[in-house]
Amino acid sequence: MSVEDFSSMKSLKNRKLYLQVYDELKNYIIQNQLKPGNKLPTEMEMSAVLGVSRNVLREAIKALEITGIVSSKPGVGIIIQEFNTDFLFQSLFYNLAGDSERVLSQTLKVRRILELGFMQEAFDTMTPEVIALLQEQVDVMDRAFREKQKKKNPTTMFGHEFYAADAAFHIILFSKTDNDILNSIISAVWSCDRYHKQRIQRSYIQKSVEKHVNIIEALKEHDFQKFSDAMHYHFDVFYKIDFET
């Protein structure tokens, strides 16, 4: 692609640079309908057309990489990436994670709204195979809880095994809804929660296992009202323990 092909971009000499360059590059990609695998012009060409330094341009390109729009490959160039919702939301929550307490509280509320809002679709698309996978995760959680019971300390960490099974349970629960955005957000929220480590009572872990068992029992009975009650109980008790004590 030549400089002439890139000439629709405006000079940014007199404007705030780094984010303005980022916006200009995004607009260029959209206006030219660039597809995954297409390349942007060279850094030298873009710097010349935009009227900015290579350092400013590289900051903008780095921002595009963080959001998954492009990737820089030495010796190849700057390549347009395939749109990936998982990458997008993982990046979003990762960049918010500095204020862990505040972000955790907000993401849990987002989870509650999403999971309760889509539970009818989860119920309607449920299969025996998915229920079996959910049961496997609850079995892992229960085993992890029983291991924690053997410890003398009344408080303990979730532990990687327990956390991974809990996360997998909720991701699997909505896996058949055919909604990539929903699944990506739920996965990203759990990714954020993973880094929030706190000491909790063993009784909390036990209650968490019980709540997931209630959900599975409702699904096995194919009773939506029971499923709805179990889902609401799951989040109501969760909030009461985490945010009111």
Domain ranges of the chain: 4-80, 86-243
Does 231 score more than 60 pLDDT? yes
Does 137 score more than 50 pLDDT? yes
* Residue 25: per-residue pLDDT: 92
| Token code pair at residue 88 | 């997008």
Which letter does DSSP use for residue 153 in this model?
-
Cβ count near 77 (within 10 Å): 16
Q: Residue 29: in which H helix or E strand, if any? A: helix 18-31
* Residue 245: per-residue pLDDT: 38
Cα separation, 193 vs 133, in Å, equals 22
Q: Residue 210: in which H helix or E strand, if any? A: helix 202-220
* Helix, strand counts (H, E) of the chain: 11, 4
Cβ atoms 218, 227 nearer than 8 A: yes
| Token code pair at residue 138 | 């609850």
Question: Which tens digit of pLDDT belongs to each residue from 182-220?
Answer: 887 887 777 665 544 444 556 677 888 999 999 999 999
The amino acid at 172: I
Mean pLDDT in residue range 69-74: 84
- Phi/psi of residue 10, each to 5°? -95, 150
Cβ count near 131 (within 10 Å): 16
* Residue 109: per-residue pLDDT: 83
* 3-state helix vs strand vs coil in the chain, percent to 5: 65, 5, 30
Mean pLDDT in residue range 8-15: 55
Mean pLDDT in residue range 78-92: 67
The most distant pair of C-alpha atoms in the chain lies apart, rounded to whole Å, by 72
The amino acid at 79: I
DSSP, collapsed to helix, strand or coil, labels residue 35 as: coil
Question: Which listed CATH number (1.20.120.530, 1.10.10.10, 3.40.50.720, 2.60.40.10) goes with 86-243?
Answer: 1.20.120.530
Cα separation, 37 vs 221, in Å, equals 48
Q: Which CATH architecture has domain 4-80?
A: Orthogonal Bundle (1.10)
Cα separation, 108 vs 9, in Å, equals 42
| Bridging pattern class, strands 155-156 and 70-73 | unpaired
Q: Residue 54: in which H helix or E strand, if any? A: helix 54-66
- More confident call, 97 vs 204: 204
